[in-house]
Amino acid sequence: MKTSVIDKKALYAYLEEIKDPEIPVLSIIDMGIVRDVKMNDDELEVIITSTYTGCPAMDMIAANISIELKTLGFKKIKITQSISPPWTTEWMSEEGKKKLQQYGIAPPDKRFTIPKDGVECPLCHSANTRLVSEFGSTACKALYQCNECKEPFDYFKCH
Partner 1 sequence: MGNNLINYTLHLADNSLILGQRNSEWCGHGPILEQDIAITNISLDLIGQARSFYQYASQLINQHSPSSGVGWGEASEDSLAYLRTEREFKNCLLVEQPNGDWAQTILRQFLFSSYQYYLYQYLQSNPDTSIVAIAEKSLKEVSYHLRWSSEWVIRLGDGTEESHKRMKQGVDELWRYTGELFTPATYEKELGIDVASLKNEWSQKVKTVFDEASLGIPSNIFMHAGGKTGTHTENLGFILADLQYMQRAYPGCEW
Q: Does 104 bind partner 1 (CB under 8 A)?
A: no
Burial-class residue 30 by CB neighbours within 10 Å (0-12, 13-18, 19+).
buried
| Residues 113-152 close enough to bind partner 1 by CB under 8 A | 114, 132-137, 139, 143
**How far, in Å, CA of 67 to CA of 106, rounded?**
31
Q: Does 5 bind partner 1 (CB under 8 A)?
A: no
Closest to partner 1 by CB, 121 or 140: 140
Q: Which stretch binds partner 1 (CB under 8 A): 14-22, 46-54, 91-99, 117-125?
A: 46-54
Shortest separation between residue 55's beta carbon and partner 1, angstroms: 7
Task: Name which of 91, 83, 16 is nearest 52 in CA terms.
Answer: 83
Shortest separation between residue 88's beta carbon and partner 1, angstroms: 8
